[in-house]
């Protein structure tokens, strides 16, 4: 059995997550000669396993034995991993979780095919459940992820991107799979709809916090801490919320927009953007936005009965906010 490292506060889900991890690996190993060289390092490279954890917690809101949720939890993690592989190709990323990315080692062609392979293994697991509702939930989420990624790529270099447009993009590309993880877990456990909607609304706000924090880390921390290439968003001309707020700053906005448009091949411009972001009002405004979504997620959880599951969801929210 694969042993996963999990924080003490999530220990009640330790055995379930280990079973999910085994299912992920077993779904990709059988009869695939390239597994050990190409796929195994990817699946064992770490990761928070946030999506399968949300699936298991949502299932346990109405059921005590998680076995029926294992294939669904494994599938959402495989879909997430596949999307990261494709994202790294699109972004020309060099690092993933502190190691050389798959595309950096094997090239784009192999990486795209491995991402496709992981998608097929995920839907193979889902098909075996025979649960059409769950399959529809996950399929719709993957459609949303693609739509959001397309919107992000088409919006590159758009220094006039609005906060509303940014939220639409991250709701699709990031939040949709988190929501689907909760909804699919709830559907598998036959959780009635009011609580399922609460879980989806919680996951939406959790996902917004997660993505905004990730965008901020790209601007403020080194690759040694994030495990990803530093300043990649700026270099790839991706307009994120930290940049949107900086562009709107009355003192620094005009300079920030000029620097951003020439930052792709100009390391000095990238560094200057980081410096003026820290000096601007944008950092404080970003904290306020994160605080708002945090309060919204907390309000959703207050509607759930007190339980081990609710406590776990609160802990996840706090961890993401303080990431």
Please list the pLDDT of the chain residue by residue as tens digits (323 residues): 444 444 555 678 999 999 999 999 999 986 788 998 999 989 988 788 999 999 999 999 887 778 999 999 999 999 999 999 999 999 888 888 778 999 999 999 999 999 999 999 999 999 999 999 999 999 999 999 999 999 999 999 999 999 999 999 999 999 999 999 999 999 999 987 889 999 999 999 999 999 999 999 988 765 445 555 667 889 899 999 999 999 999 999 999 999 999 998 898 999 999 999 999 999 999 999 999 999 999 999 999 999 888 999 999 999 999 98
pLDDT at residue number 65: 76
Which of 71, 72, 290, 93 is closest to 177 using CA atoms?
Answer: 72
Which of 260, 315, 314 is closest to 282 using CA atoms?
Answer: 260
312 Cβ contact list (under 8 Å, min separation 6) = 9, 10, 12, 13, 53, 57
Residue given tokens 């597994």 in the structure block: 35
pLDDT at residue number 221: 60
Q: Does some domain include residue 285?
A: yes
d(CA 144, CA 20): 25
Distances in whole angstroms, Cα of residue 82 to Cα of each of 25, 129, 131, 239, 305: 14, 20, 22, 23, 35
Give the number of other Cβ atoms within 10 Å of residue 128's Cβ. 11
- CATH assignment of the domain containing 111: 1.10.600.10
Total residues found in the chain within this entry: 323
DSSP code for 69: G
Which of 71, 72, 53, 69 is closest to 11 using CA atoms?
Answer: 53
Q: Does some domain include residue 86?
A: yes
Q: Does some domain include residue 4?
A: no
d(CA 213, CA 219): 10
pLDDT at residue number 224: 47
Q: How many domains does the chain have?
A: 1
75 Cβ contact list (under 8 Å, min separation 6) = 122, 123, 125, 126, 138
pLDDT at residue number 232: 84
pTM score: 0.93
Q: Does some domain include residue 61?
A: yes
Q: Does some domain include residue 1?
A: no
Q: Does some domain include residue 183?
A: yes
Q: Does some domain include residue 190?
A: yes
Instruction: Identify the domain containing residue 191 by its residue range.
Output: 13-321
Give the number of other Cβ atoms within 10 Å of residue 144's Cβ. 19
DSSP code for 96: E
Distances in whole angstroms, Cα of residue 53 to Cα of each of 104, 141, 239, 280: 29, 17, 30, 37
Q: Does some domain include residue 207?
A: yes
């Amino acid at each position: 059995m694969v042993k996963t490292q999990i924080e003490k506060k999530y220990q009640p889900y330790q055995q379930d997550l280990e079973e999910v991890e085994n299912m992920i690996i077993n779904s990709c190993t059988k009869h695939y000669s390239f597994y050990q060289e190409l796929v195994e390092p990817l699946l064992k490279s770490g990761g928070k396993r946030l999506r399968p954890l949300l699936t298991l917690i949502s299932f346990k809101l109405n059921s005590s034995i998680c076995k029926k949720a294992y294939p669904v939890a494994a599938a959402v993690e495989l879909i997430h991993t596949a999307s990261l592989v494709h994202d790294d190709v699109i972004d020309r990323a060099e690092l993933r979780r502190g190691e050389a990315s798959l595309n950096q080692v094997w090239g784009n062609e192999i990486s795209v095919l491995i991402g496709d392979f992981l998608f097929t293994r995920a839907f193979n697991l889902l098909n075996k459940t025979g649960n059409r509702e769950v399959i529809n939930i996950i399929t719709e989420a993957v459609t949303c992820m693609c739509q959001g990624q397309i919107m992000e790529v088409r919006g590159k270099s758009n220094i006039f991107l609005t906060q509303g447009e940014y939220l639409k993009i991250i709701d699709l590309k990031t939040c949709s799979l988190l929501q689907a993880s909760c909804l699919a877990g709830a559907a598998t456990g036959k959780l009635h709809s009011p609580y399922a909607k609460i879980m989806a609304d919680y996951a939406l706000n959790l996902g917004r916090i997660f993505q905004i924090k990730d965008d901020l880390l790209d601007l403020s921390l080194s690759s040694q801490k994030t495990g990803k290439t530093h300043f990649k968003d700026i270099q790839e001309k991706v307009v994120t919320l930290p940049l949107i707020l900086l562009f709107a700053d009355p003192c620094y906005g005009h300079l920030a927009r000029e620097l951003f448009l020439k930052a792709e091949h100009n390391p000095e411009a990238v560094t200057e953007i980081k410096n003026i972001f820290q000096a601007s009002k944008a950092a404080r405004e970003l904290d306020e936005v994160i605080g708002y979504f945090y309060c919204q997620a907390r309000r959703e959880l207050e509607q759930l009965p007190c339980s081990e599951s609710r406590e776990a969801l609160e802990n996840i929210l706090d961890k993401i906010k303080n990431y």
